[in-house]
Amino acid sequence: MKIRRSIRGSLFLMGACLLTGMGAWAQASSAVQQSQVSTDLAVTYSLERSELAPGDCGCFWLQGGGVDAAVTFWKGLGVAASFTGGHAANIAPGVDVNKIAFAAGPRFTYNAWTGHAAATDQRRLQIFGQGLFGGVHGFDGLYPVTSGVTSSAGSLAIEAGGGVNLFLTKNLGVRLLEAEYVRTELPNNASNTQNDMRLSFGFAYHLSARRRR
């Protein structure tokens, strides 16, 4: 009988210790520092330098605009997606260029400056770099093919570069500059490749939400 009571007492003590430990663990878990997931949106005006064919610079500038969005998950790492469009008139007699592109891929974002110590100062400087992959569609133009010419064509697209956002408030800011290398493979009666440089400027919006780790 004494042995049974001893066993029961030991089990009761172990159970009490277990419950106490679980309660302490739950409190510690609820106090774990929260990590932040953020979303950045931008609307931009863009200039893209291109050429009729590599090595023979009948160079021209497409003008247009774009929108992009990025979600940052962990320590600056996240994903981004962009949609852009551009137009150039009379790159050759009676020939225009129009194209739209969509691309997505990884982005790394770094807060280079976070304003002054004042609690009301929400300014910060944000720098990002990215590599995006997608497709491009050219239309209302002239694209040489084996059977002659066509008014539209499509190809894969690669975009690599980065930019700088200056946020003047917690949410609103400007995209001071975005510079990207853009490679496409639309037919041009030569190498059928384009190696362009795109510059963009515009407005940015930042939204953050907290989640528990």
**When comparing pLDDT for 106 and 15, which is higher?**
106
**Residue 171: enclosing H or E segment and its boundaries?**
none
**Residue 94: enclosing H or E segment and its boundaries?**
none
The reported pLDDT for the residue numbered 188 is: 84
Phi, psi torsion values for 5, nearest 5 degrees: -60, -40
pLDDT exceeds 80 at position 55 = no
Whether the model pTM is above 0.75: yes
**Averaging pLDDT over each range in 12-26, 89-103, 104-118, 124-138, which range is the top one?**
124-138
Work out the mean pLDDT of the chain and round it to a whole number: 82
pLDDT exceeds 90 at position 53 = no
**Structure confidence by residue, pLDDT tens digits, 186-213:** 998 888 899 999 999 999 999 987 654 5
**Structure confidence by residue, pLDDT tens digits, 2-36:** 434 444 444 444 444 434 444 443 443 443 334 57
Q: List all residues 6 or more positions away from 51 whose beta carbon is below 8 Å from its beta carbon.
A: 57, 58, 59, 60, 194
**When comparing pLDDT for 66 and 18, which is higher?**
66
pLDDT exceeds 80 at position 54 = no
